């Protein structure tokens, strides 16, 4: 795959601001392990190889088990995810692939059983961010693994 343009070089000020936004999410009410799962799942749904590669490596660095990463594509059938994680994954999927008539009340209510209003709000910002990153990297065909050294992802030892 050949990258189309380097959006970081073309729009450095916007990239910097968006990185600041994304970095602020590390202090959200949502734990790192769930943020990792959300980033991987949204990237799978959006077909973003760059982000999928990055977030799998981050998850491994953060201690996520390989089998849970393998099961993410079929999280509904897997017994490896807790109710809180399932709620976050359901919310991720519905916001990543918005239904024509919006988010159904039953989905919202199921998610609200597991997450506080603050957590749900913060999770929504997490989902917004990964979807935006996916769109930029899919649009410009960013090469998976091309930023490993810059982001310290070589520590995952998954090359």
* Mean pLDDT of the 122-146 span: 96
Kindly tell me the sign of the dihedral angle through the C-alpha atoms of 6, 7, 9, 15: negative
C-alpha 154/C-alpha 57 separation (Å) is: 8
Question: How confident is the model at residue 145, as a pLDDT?
Answer: 87
Question: How confident is the model over 33-86, as pLDDT tens digits?
Answer: 999 999 999 999 999 999 999 999 999 999 999 999 999 999 999 999 999 999
Asked whether the predicted pLDDT for residue 155 surpasses 90, the reply is no
Token code pair at residue 68: 């849970």
- Domains belonging to the chain, first-starting first, are 29-139+146-152 (1.20.1290.10)
Element (H, E) at 30: none
Asked whether the predicted pLDDT for residue 23 surpasses 80, the reply is yes
Phi-psi bin for 141: left (phi > 0), alpha (psi -120 to 50), beta?
A: left
| HSE (side-chain half, CA atoms, 13 Å) at 26 | 7
Q: How many residues does the chain have?
A: 159
């Amino acid at each position: 795959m050949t990258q189309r343009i380097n959006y970081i070089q073309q729009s450095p000020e916007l990239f910097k601001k968006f990185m600041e936004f994304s970095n602020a999410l590390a202090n959200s009410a949502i734990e790192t392990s769930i943020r990792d799962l959300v980033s991987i799942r949204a990237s799978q749904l959006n077909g973003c190889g760059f982000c999928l590669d990055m977030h799998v490596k981050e998850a491994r660095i953060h201690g996520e088990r390989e089998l849970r990463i393998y099961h993410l594509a079929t999280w509904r059938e897997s017994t490896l995810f807790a109710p809180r994680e399932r709620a976050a994954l359901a919310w991720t999927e519905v916001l990543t692939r918005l239904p024509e008539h919006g988010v159904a009340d039953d989905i919202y209510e199921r998610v609200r059983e597991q997450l506080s209003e603050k957590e749900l709000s913060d999770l929504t910002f997490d989902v917004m961010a990964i979807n935006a990153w996916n769109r930029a990297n899919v649009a410009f065909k960013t090469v998976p693994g091309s930023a490993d050294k810059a982001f310290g992802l070589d520590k995952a030892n998954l090359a």
